[in-house]
A and B are shown apart, each in its own frame.
Chain A
Amino acid sequence: MKWDVIVAGAGTAGLTAAVRAAQSGKKVLVLAKGAGATHLAPLTIDVLGYAPERVESPLASLGGFLADNPDHPYARTGEAAIGEALAWFSDVMAETYPYTGGLERNILLPSAIGAWRPSALVPVTMAEGDLRRDEPMVIVGLRQLKDFHPALLADNLQRAGVPARAVELDIEFDRVDVSTVGLARALDRPEVRSLLAAQLAVRLRSGERVGFPAALGLRHAHTVWSELQDRLGRPVFEIPTVPPSVPGLRVDRILTDALRAAGGRVILGSEIVGAQPDAGGVTVRAKAAARDIEHRADWLVLATGGFAEGSIMLDADWRARETVLDLPLAHVPAAGEARFVPDYFDVQPMARVGVAVDAGLRPVGPDGSRVHERVLVAGASIGGAVPWKEHSGEGISVTTGYHAAGQIAPKASPSVGTRAAA
């Protein structure tokens, strides 16, 4: 079958590109080896959190940051694309899982151990955790949830001057080990929410807002959250946890549903084993149950991720390579240069390694010339960023995914331009 666009990778960048392209009338196929990195990410849209000091306003800081980091993915898309992409993303999420915030000011939310994480755009279910506000917090954990330790979280908030205390609940489950996903599924059921609210209500003090691990419902997150606010009569917020990420699963579902609604298709378990770009498009061979299947498209968006996703590998002979198309990589330390440095908290040189792209997100060689006209690159595949140090990962994914879709024959689809301006 012939497609307009094949997107490789079902993470935030890939799904963003796919949904935007599909909404502009393209026939879109997403091929992915497995679930995307959405399942790992907190899915707060962090645009720029540290540079290297904490960034109060991405809008105010991006200019200087990009002057210092001219090879950063944001420097390729341009600053304007970031705002457009965030507006678009908010729009897609608005109905089922609304986000709040923007580039003007980072929202500071507690991490699961009580650090202050700066994010530009956050789910409404997390927003009441704003650390700039004065109301005391009570952090609620669950004995059965080993990935969330409310006492440590609350103590760390206290240390930083935020009044906080911890409460640990013990709700009967059929086992002693429950994951955030298991808890979220349970809380989708009204009777479990009632039980939780009843147990908790008697332990709250006046004026406290209530922080939970980000597991307040999977399919019905917004309902669960607003119902708990009503029942407890006070602000409630979620705190992202280590993987698996419930907020990531929610966003994955919403984007996937939006893609299907716009006529697109997702095939998981279809790792790309060969791709031949040519002047008119790309032929892709992907794994399938019985045998490999060939797909043809006018465009390929490569959004398979970086080292963490296994899409860029450092081989046993220390050669770095992009695994789908063997695209040229930028920022690879030369032979004899350090790949990593001894201090864990320093910037690691290998962390910047990724595909080199131009302003049109086409892969380029060392001389800056395009190596494929019909291939676009988005997300963590692109080099030049240190996402976890900068707290920029989701921002890069949403921005480059959005921007990549915008490169696809905009002439044929006037609606793209309209949306971008919105």
Chain B
Amino acid sequence: MTTLQTEVLVVGGGGTGAGIAWDAALRGYDVILVDRADLAEGTSGRFHGLLHSGGRYVVKDPIAARECVEENAIVRSIASAAIEDTGGLFVTTPDDDPAYGDQFLAGCAEAGLPTEEIDVAQALRREPRLNPGITRAFTVADASVDVWQLVWALANGAATRGARILPYHRCVELHREGDAVTGARLHDERTGETVEVQAAFTINAGGAWAHEIAEMAGIEGVSVVPGKGIMIAMNHRLVNTVVNRCTIPADGDIIVPIRTVSVIGTTDIRSEHPDDLPVTQEEVDAMLADGERLVPGFRNQRAMRVWAGVRPLFDDKKAGAGGSTRDVSRGTALLDHGERDGVGGFITITGGKLTTYRLMAEEAVDAMVEQLGHDRPCTTKTTALPGSEDGAYMSPGTRLRARDRHLKTEQLICECELIERSTLEAGMRARGSQNLDDIRRSLRLGMGPCQGGFCIPRATGILHSLDRLTAAEANTSMRSFLEERWKGVYPILYGDQLRQARLDDWIFQGVLDVEHLPGGPDRDVAATTAREAS
């Protein structure tokens, strides 16, 4: 058993938790950030990748809209390397009421969101695939964000200031001494080891799981309603601008171009448990039909992957049974458990959205600083994250340009996402992980149209030789990748993507025979396997 001491323990490694770790580290605190899985594997990694301009909320939730307007500008300036400046359009489709556009304009003015109504013809020139039947179009400052880049930049930034980042460390117990939380017991999901943390202050950034963490401190009534949303990634950038339907927020009304794909989202369905998010045929059909409204022919493109995320919607009055969760406030819930429950050294922050992660972090750390009686102001508004110092946005052509220079000197491991061998090896070393899904999130390995058909056998071989994994570990890593991938693939398999999937089966089952690797299917081995201590 290991015992660690720290000033601040942050439980939950999504956008909010990583933001808190960075914020607190910048203010000079010693920080430990833990998550039961990989960073940004919960809600933060399961959204559409939209950095909101605020346009979506201007009519219905002006406070949220104003927050988005401000945070959008700040995040663009401090985390540019994780952001593509796509811009956004709100368009009135034939199914939408054109009069909403006037409400929209008024709301934008109210929220301080710069917008301009442009000619439909101009909008169609900018996005030729858009439904030609649109009647109005408005520009906004939407952007797309690579959330894994963002969250890891936050975590790495914190780490350079001494923070310890512990993914795959599940918080299984919070320790209380008298009226205060004094730390936590962690379970290392990869080694099975127990880690004790003694912390002066603990921040619960558990998002949709925040109630589970709060209950560990004996605190009841933290009610987070899981609102499930599904997203589908299509294999092209069908649009190069974020496209929103100009209407009261509903299902399937946003398409976000991000990296090599475009993502449509989302839905909002009351879910029983944040870990149980099945995707149904009806949801997929509805989402594809929604895509068709914005981009005719959408359905006949290749749907590559579907996933479901869960919004942490905080509800102090217990949510009623059934019905939509969309009307629950999306605002941040910051609970000072000293005031609320008489438990000191412990706060919970939940709710919110990725776009406002920084503001949430600031508010949470401010609350902690106040409780501790310190005077340490927040500096995250003006401090660039590692890699974003030059303020340059990411762009879809970056990897292609680099590839051009390395044609004769670098092996290309993932053709879809243009990942070269040295990049892959560096990424594997940096993560110290033998989980190919971790590498996928860090580098987009296997995220392209072939969904890992060609790069995953290569990456498995490289991981095996690089890390000196045993063959059993390498096999498990590959099998886990395939099983995890399949979950996001099978509900949307049709057309050419089904053809691709069958080719992948041919490779993995027919040629390589992954299923019958020695040792058998041993599928009881945890999806995230242990890295043997060397």
Contacts and interface: CB of A to CB of B under 8 A. Distances in A.
24 contacts: A112-B512, A113-B457, A113-B460, A113-B512, A115-B517, A146-B458, A149-B457, A151-B461, A151-B464, A155-B464, A155-B474, A160-B518, A176-B408, A242-B511, A242-B512, A243-B506, A243-B507, A306-B502, A314-B493, A340-B491, A343-B483, A343-B486, A388-B509, A391-B510
Given A115-B516, A316-B300, A151 B494 contact: no
A310 B499 contact: yes
A245 B512 CA distance: 13
Contact of A159 (B410, B464, B519, B523): B519
B462 A149 contact: yes
A113 B514 contact: yes
Contact of B461 (A116, A152, A351): A152
A393 interface: yes
B410 A308 contact: no
A149 B461 CA distance: 5
Given A112-B457, A308-B503, 11 more contacts: A113-B512, A113-B517, A115-B516, A115-B517, A144-B411, A155-B471, A159-B518, A306-B502, A315-B495, A343-B483, A391-B513
A97 interface: no
**Secondary structure type dominating chain A contacts:** loop
Nearest to B465: A151
Interface in B481-534: 482-483, 485-487, 490-491, 493-496, 498-499, 502-503, 505-507, 509-519, 521, 523
Interface in B424-468: 454, 457-458, 460-462, 464-465
Given A307-B498, A316-B288, A115 B490 contact: no
B4 interface: no
Contacts of A152: 460-461, 464-465, 471, 474
A229 interface: no
Instruction: Give the bracket for the number of chain A residues in contact with chain B.
Output: 35 or more
Interface of A: 40-42, 50, 54, 111-117, 144, 146-149, 151-152, 155-160, 174-177, 240-243, 245, 306-310, 313-316, 318, 339-345, 348, 350-351, 387-389, 391, 393
B63 interface: no
Contacts, number: 163
B73 interface: no
Nearest to B285: A318
Of B300, B460, B475, which is in contact with the most chain A CB atoms at under 10 Å from its CB?
B475
Of B458, B482, B511, which is in contact with the most chain A CB atoms at under 10 Å from its CB?
B511
Given A159-B472, A307-B498, A112 B411 contact: no
Interface of B: 288, 299-300, 407-413, 421, 454, 457-458, 460-462, 464-465, 470-472, 474-475, 478-479, 482-483, 485-487, 490-491, 493-496, 498-499, 502-503, 505-507, 509-519, 521, 523
A156 B475 contact: yes
A137 B462 CA distance: 21
A387 B509 CA distance: 9
Contacts of B464: 149, 151-152, 155
A114 B517 contact: yes
Nearest to A156: B471
Contacts of A146: 411-413, 421, 458
Contacts of A116: 513, 516, 518
